Amino acid sequence: MSFLDDNFLLTNEPAKKLYHEHAKKMPIIDYHCHLEPKDIYENKNYPNLTRVWLNDGMLGDHYKWRLERANGVPEDLITGDGDEYEKMMAWAGTLEKAIGNPIYEWANLELKRFFGIEEPLLKKNVPAIWEKANALLQTEDFKPRNLIKKANVKVICTTDDLNSDLTYHKLLADDEKDFRVLPSMRPDGLFKIYQESYPAYVETLSALTSVDVHDTDSLKEALDKRFAFFDHIGGHVSDFGLDTYSYRHVSRREMDGLIQKGLKHDSLSADEIADYQTGLLMLFMELNKKYDWVMQLHVNVLRNMNRPMYEAIGADKGFDSVGAQSGIAKEILYLLNDGSIADIIPKMILYSTNPNDWMELATGMQSFQGGCVQRMQLGCAWWFNDTREGMLLQLTTMAQQSLLGNFVGMLTDSRSFLSYPRHEYFRRVLCNLIGEWVERGQVFEDYDYLGRIVEDISFHNANDYFRFAVK
C-alpha cells in the first residue's frame, strides 16, 4: 500500500467494498464547525496557501499551530505577521516530523483532494507546491463556496452567539442554493455569570427581545424569542461548551436570586455558579425540546492554560488540553435525571475530550433513550481524539453500548475550508472496522445491508436526526 492511495486505511476486502461503493459517494453534513458565515457569503479568493490553510489574521488552524510550537517555530511565523512564504516553509518543516500524527495524513490528504498535489508536504517540495496551489487559489473553483461544493457538502452548521443577528445566514439563505449554512446557538456568555461582562450580555439579550430579563421567567421568555428567531433562519442545533460542570439541584426562587446577583455583579460562590448553570441548562433543555432541536454538550476541556500567551494573543490559539474533571459524566447524568423528571429532555449529543468519560456517558445515556430514534448520542471522537485510534474507541464504545447503526457520524469542528477530508478519514476508519467484523464472522456479510448502515452513518442519520431534509 502506497501513501494515501485509494485504499488508504482500508486493510481488508470488505472495507474496500464498503468504502468505494457506499461511503465515498455520500454527501457531507457538517453539523458542528467554526467557519465564518461572512467568509462564505463574501466568497473571496484567498491570496495564497498560507492564508487559506494556516492563518488568516488571527483566525486559523490551532491544530497546526500546536505542532509548530513543538518544533520551535517562532510565534511571528505562526499567528504573527511574519512572511507568508516563510510560514509555509516552517509548517512544512514541522509536518515532516509529524509521522503518526493524524494531521500528517490530513494535511497531505487536503493537498491531494483539493489541489491535485501528489507530492507530500516536505520543505524541499514547498516551492513547487506553493506555486501550483497559489495559482489555483486565484481561480473561480477555489473560492470558498466552490471549495464547499467540491467537497460535496450539503449542510454547514456554524457556531453562533445567542445574541447574534445572523445577518450572513439570512443573506446566504437567499443567495446560495447548492448548500445551506445554518446557525447553531452557542450561549456561552449567558453561562459566565461570574464574569464582569454578564450584566452587559443580559442587557443585550433584553434589548434584542424587548424583554426585561430580571428573573427566571423573563429569562425563559427572552430565550424563547431567540429560539424562535434562530429557528426561523434554519437553526436546528444548540451547542454548549461546559469545560467543567457540577450538578446542583436549584429551585425557581434560588434561580431568581442568582440571576439578580449576577446582574449586579455580586460575588458568587462555586456552589452558586453550579446552581445557576444547572438551572440554565434545564431552561435550555426545555426550549430545545419545544423546538425539536438537537442539544450538544461538549464537556471536560482545560482551556487557555498558558496565561501569558492567552493574554498576548487570546483564546482558541492552541493552548487547550484534555480536561481532567473526574466524574463529570456522572454530573451530566444527574442533570438528565432532573430533565427526565420534568419530561424536558430533547435530542442530545454528549461529547467529552477525555475518553475516560465515554463509557460512563455511553452507558448512562441509555437510561434516557426513547421517544425518537437514538434520542441520546455519544458524540464522535472530538478534538484531541479525532485520530484513527480515537475514532475506533468511540465507534466501538457506541456499538457495544447502544446502536451504531443510528450514529450521526463525523463533524469537522474546523475553521478551515480545506478540512472536509476529515469526513473521508472517518469513513475509511468506519468501513475498516466493519470489514474486520465481517472477516472475524461477527457481522453477517451482506453488502446491501452493511452498505446501508455505512451510508446512514455517513449522511442519512444526521440528515434525519437534525431534520435537515436534504434530498
Q: What is the pLDDT of residues 2-25, one digit of tens each?
A: 999 999 999 999 999 999 999 999
Convert the pLDDT of each residue in 116-166 to its tens digit: 999 999 999 999 999 999 999 999 999 999 999 999 999 999 999 999 999
Give the C-alpha distances (Å, rounded to integers) separating 452 from 17, 168, 398, 414, 439.
Answer: 12, 36, 18, 28, 18
The answer on pLDDT for 470 being more than 90 is yes
Q: Pull the grid cell for residue 146.
A: 466552490
Mean pLDDT in residue range 229-239: 98
Answer for the pair 459, 29: CB distance below 8 angstroms, yes or no.
yes
The answer on pLDDT for 229 being more than 90 is yes
pLDDT of residue 266: 95
What's the CA gap between 374 and 94, in Å, rounded? 42
* All CATH 3.20.20.140 domain ranges in the chain, comma separated: 183-407
* All CATH 1.10.2020.10 domain ranges in the chain, comma separated: 46-142
What's the CA gap between 173 and 234, in Å, rounded? 9
Mean pLDDT in residue range 400-427: 97
Mean pLDDT in residue range 311-315: 94
Convert the pLDDT of each residue in 245-259 to its tens digit: 999 999 999 999 999
pLDDT of residue 356: 97
Query: Where do the DSSP E strands lie in 18-150?
Result: 28-30, 55-56, 59-60
Confidence of residue 413 (pLDDT cuts 50, 70, 90): very high
SS (H, E, C) 384-426: HHCCHHHHHHHHHHHHHHCCHHHCCCCCCCCCCCCCCHHHHHH
Write out the DSSP string of 198-220. Answer: HHHHHHHHHHHHT----SHHHHH
pLDDT of residue 142: 98
Q: If you average pLDDT over every residue of the chain, what do you get?
A: 97
Q: Which homologous superfamily does the CATH classification assign to the domain defined by 183-407?
A: Metal-dependent hydrolases (3.20.20.140)
**CA dihedral sign, ordered 34, 39, 40, 46:** negative
Confidence of residue 59 (pLDDT cuts 50, 70, 90): confident
Count of CB atoms situated within 10 Å of the CB of 73: 20
pLDDT of residue 344: 98
pLDDT of residue 57: 82
- Looking at per-residue confidence, does 60 or 282 come out higher? 282
Q: Which residues on neighbouring strands pair with residue 252, listed in sequence order?
A: none
The answer on pLDDT for 73 being more than 90 is yes
Record: fold of 46-142: uronate isomerase, domain 2, chain A (1.10.2020)
CA Rg, the chain, in Å? 23
Query: Where do the DSSP E strands lie in 97-175?
Result: 153-157, 160-161
Confidence of residue 1 (pLDDT cuts 50, 70, 90): confident
Confidence of residue 404 (pLDDT cuts 50, 70, 90): very high
Answer for the pair 383, 353: CB distance below 8 angstroms, yes or no.
yes
pTM confidence score: 0.97
The answer on pLDDT for 353 being more than 90 is yes
Residues found in the chain: 471
Quick one: what percent of the chain has pLDDT higher than 70?
A: 100
- Within 8 A by CB and 6+ apart from 333, the residues are 360, 364, 367
Mean pLDDT in residue range 174-203: 97
Phi, psi of 246 (to 5 degrees): -130, 125
CA dihedral of residues 395, 397, 400, 402 (deg, nearest 10) = -80
